[in-house]
Structure 1
Amino acid sequence: MTNPDLVLVLRYRKAVTYGFHVLLGALEEHETATAYEVVFAETPEATISEIEAGLSRAKRVLVLWSFYSPDAEALAAELTTIKAAAPGALHVAGGVHATAEPVQTLDAGWDVAAIGEGETTLLKLVDAGGDPTGVTGLAYRDAAGQVVKTGRPERLPLDTFRGFSLRWHRFNALEITRGCAFSCRFCQTPFMFSARFRHRSVENVRWHADQMRERGLRDIRFITPTALSYGSQDESPNLDAVEELLASCKEGIGPNGRVFFGSFPSEIRPEHISVEALRLVKKYCANNNIIVGAQSGSDRILDAAKRGHGVEEVKRAVHLGVQEGFRINVDMIFGMPGEDQTDVDASLALARELAELGARIHAHTFMPLPGTPWRDAQPGDVDPDTITAVDRLSQQGALYGHWQRQREHAVRLAAAAEAYPRPGRSRTLPIHPLSE
């Protein structure tokens, strides 16, 4: 067999498999003159081995990384170890953190930061034999140490690329909507993918369901920032489009298959919940639980966060959900910017009220995520009395989540934001030129 021009090593971690599968779905249909191989590295040790093996047979090795902002610091330490043990590869970071903080990503040790949506960028990188020079959607440092940004890649309809990979047998929940018209100040989604919806067509979703059924897969789930916004281009739900989607998927996945909607890994906005919507889920779907995004029990904080709904809509959503026989999981964020004791008390009161109805609270601590309007806010500060109250709910089985770990992530993110102020503020950055 002829040696490849390029080896793509995927630093393959459970937390980011969906993004890699979408990239592979785009790659498997792409015609290119570049002879390439794809390998999966599930540990740092495997990554080192695959780099060494790749360099022994290919002209260039690209290591593809994808991560969320809370993971950036730990993975940068891993990257340092890998580069020391196996030099010579080009390390490319993608995902929301690299998009929001490309310079910080480069200074952490990655050679290239992919900015924005990755499908077209990866295809052009492959066409270029792994040479990032001039490929749209990247940032890197030139030989003089200057940051080069090649501009954002073209945003294409979701139907353009497959939502998972048949060639590499990598399946996942299917992304049916990208972008979000609700520009919540704490969320990275609308600021990475734009504050508008792009939906995968029903016909295209059905193709994916058929492929899953033919391969013996039984469950189909969806990735979407707001499930009942499917088919809509504004803030109102489009239940006709939702029913068309669910009916087609239920038929496509077959009598032995199951459709899940409005449960992990997606959620439903509280003001979108109605008896009609809930009964659509009951008619076509297997899940008996749904996730509702409340975020706060204070109307003042919800307004500051630009959530677009109030506390009464949250209460109404939970009442309707319980009435229709669903177990409701309610997302709430503690320590949001500007929150005072009155706001904290309101959130705790709402949590207790909803728990008494039978809901479970999914607790989070506010994290100042890169790329969001609240990127420079202080990390979530949860006082001891609030911690005690939240712990009590947890012990009663009414609350769950990694909110304590998120407090630690929030502090690190705030420190990184302070070290990398937004443009217009003075800053001194170390220089790490693009690897040869």
Structure 2
Amino acid sequence: MAGLDLVLVLRYRKAVTYGFHALLGALGEHETATRFEVRFGESTEETARHIREADDTRVLVLWSFYSPDAAALAEELQQIRALADGPHVTHLAGGVHATAEPVQTLDAGWDMAAIGEGESTLISLVDAKGDPTGITGLAYRDATGKLVRTGKARQRPLDDFPGFALKWDRFNALEITRGCVYACRFCQTPFMFSARFRHRSVENVRWHVDRMRERGLRDVRFITPTALSYGSQTEEPNLAAVEELLASCREGIGPGGRVFFGSFPSEIRPEHITRETLRLVKRYCANNNIIVGAQSGSDRILASAKRGHGVEEVRRAVRLGVEEGFRINVDMIFGMPGEDGQDTEDSLRLARELADLGARIHAHTFMPLPGTPWRDAPPGDVDPATISEVDRLSRRGALYGHWQKQRDHAQRLAAAAEAYPRPGRSRTLLPMVRTEPASATPE
């Protein structure tokens, strides 16, 4: 393309638009001498066409994906290379999987892996017209095949960058918190962004809401690992900060707008749910449903996963939520490391109890995700009796989710972990020792 220094082609998939919009938001506010254009590839064929149409202009193809999608997208990468390729084309993978497994990502066919937060890395790459030399936040192989790691990019305040791409008119739920102090052993979030909270300021959030309203958008949603932790740096909620946030958003979006909090794509920890917090949500927000992260009905498994709460907090949260008029969706993971028959029965018992109260169970199968402490754990294995009970709950409308598909993903992730073992770690996990009688159940 005549007159351009660089063409950015996004392999633009519905599952990862949030991350791309954040990158483009940062790029759209950045002043650079590089003459560039952005193209959205919403299919394999469209992505390849954008690459071909760039002629000999340098092309940086941006990919972002979660660990369960890595194998399928590696195959798609090869298809795109077969349709359009050349020495001027560089494929860059980012996101949690590339951060956790950069060498595996390179060996799967990508030219570069972005490590950590991508905003400043992308800006630097655009300034350098795609040349990675001296840019932090990357892993790649040099001309001799030697692995080059430049470390994680510097973490910057969320207020430094917009949360969506105004220049390209691309909007999404707004990220208000990055990182998480809880560091659950199955979750990638704290190990990519660090085990601390970084919050977007109320003033900055309001700026985004005002921009949305100007463009006729009427629904405000948030991305956060734990909604009622907004404004806090500890495990205790800061309700004054939460109320300031919600009141500002409610005012900003106007009488025809709606604010959603504690519903998709975020959740609320069970120990944070009280009548006060529920009524705070009800006062300012439009959602009649809340997502509660329970994860297990076994106190033993919750302690092993370092969840920071027990089963009784889950029961109490669901009861309170139902009493206050909310529909409660409860996340539960089956097949976590060390889980035995009693733990599974405890989870099923809790699921039935919560369903009887009116909650819906969002079922998951444990996946050994890269970058987590349980990366080398065996994949979740759900026995036939559990499958039968889960199916029974599903038929009565009390359970939903893609837990069957996650079983297949878990097997593939375990196989990949075998091929790329962590130094000093054994693939064999010792079974946990039960510390209470097998018949004991938490009161």
TM-score (norm 1): 0.96
Displacement of 1:55 after TM fit? 2.8
Which residue is equivalent to 1:20? 20
Instruction: Give the partner amino acid of 1:265.
Output: P
Which residue is equivalent to 2:62? 64
Q: 1:156 to 1:335 in 2, by over 3 A?
A: same
CA distance in 2, matches of 1:83, 1:112: 15
CA distance in 2, matches of 1:36, 1:72: 28
Which residue is equivalent to 1:80? 78
CA distance in 2, matches of 1:85, 1:212: 38
Structure 1 runs of 4+ aligned residues shifted over 6 Å read: none
Displacement of 1:423 after TM fit? 2.5
Displacement of 1:84 after TM fit? 1.9
Instruction: Give the partner amino acid of 1:87.
Output: D
Instruction: Give the partner amino acid of 1:122.
Output: L
Displacement of 1:134 after TM fit? 2.0
Displacement of 1:64 after TM fit? 0.1
Which residue is equivalent to 1:185? 185
Which residue is equivalent to 1:5? 5
Which residue is equivalent to 1:137? 137
- For residues 218-275 of structure 1, the C-alpha deviation after alignment (integer angstroms, 9 at most, x for no partner) is 0000000000000000000111100000000000001000000000000000000010
- Answering whether residue 423 of structure 2 is matched by residue 423 of structure 1, we say yes
Q: Secondary structure at the residue paired with 1:237?
A: coil
CA distance in 2, matches of 1:424, 1:310: 32
TM-score (norm 2): 0.95
Which residue is equivalent to 2:31? 31
Q: Secondary structure at the residue paired with 1:331?
A: strand
The runs of 5 or more residues in structure 2 that have no matched partner are 427-443
Instruction: Give the partner amino acid of 1:415.
Output: A
Aligned positions of 1:357-368 closer than 5 A: 357-368=357-368
- For residues 49-90 of structure 1, the C-alpha deviation after alignment (integer angstroms, 9 at most, x for no partner) is 00011134x2x1000000000000000000011112211210
Displacement of 1:100 after TM fit? 0.1
Contact 1:227 1:266 in 2 (8 A): yes
Instruction: Give the partner amino acid of 1:313.
Output: E
Displacement of 1:2 after TM fit? 5.1
Considering Cα pairs closer than 8 Å and 6+ residues apart, tell me whether 1 or 2 has the greater RCO. 1
Q: Secondary structure at the residue paired with 2:40?
A: strand
- Answering whether residue 330 of structure 2 is matched by residue 330 of structure 1, we say yes
Instruction: Give the partner amino acid of 2:75.
Output: A
CA distance in 1, matches of 2:90, 2:179: 30
Instruction: Give the partner amino acid of 1:81.
Output: Q
Which residue is equivalent to 1:260? 260
Q: In the comparison of the two structures, how many residue pairs are matched? A: 424
CA distance in 2, matches of 1:4, 1:416: 39
Q: Secondary structure at the residue paired with 1:55?
A: coil
Displacement of 1:132 after TM fit? 1.3
- For residues 95-116 of structure 1, the C-alpha deviation after alignment (integer angstroms, 9 at most, x for no partner) is 0000000000000000000000
Contact 1:55 1:61 in 2 (8 A): no
CA distance in 1, matches of 2:237, 2:343: 29
Which residue is equivalent to 2:172? 172
- Greater CA deviation, 89-98 or 134-143? 134-143
Aligned positions of 1:348-359 closer than 5 A: 348-359=348-359
Aligned positions of 1:314-393 closer than 5 A: 314-393=314-393
Which residue is equivalent to 1:96? 96
Q: Secondary structure at the residue paired with 1:109?
A: coil
CA distance in 2, matches of 1:139, 1:424: 22
- For residues 127-181 of structure 1, the C-alpha deviation after alignment (integer angstroms, 9 at most, x for no partner) is 1000112211000011221110011101000000000011100000000000000
% same residue? 79
CA distance in 1, matches of 2:315, 2:397: 20
Q: Secondary structure at the residue paired with 1:76?
A: helix
Instruction: Give the partner amino acid of 1:205.
Output: V
The runs of 5 or more residues in structure 1 that have no matched partner are 427-436
Contact 1:267 1:293 in 2 (8 A): yes
Q: Secondary structure at the residue paired with 2:54?
A: helix
Instruction: Give the partner amino acid of 1:238.
Output: N
Which residue is equivalent to 2:435? none
Displacement of 1:425 after TM fit? 7.0
Which residue is equivalent to 2:241? 241
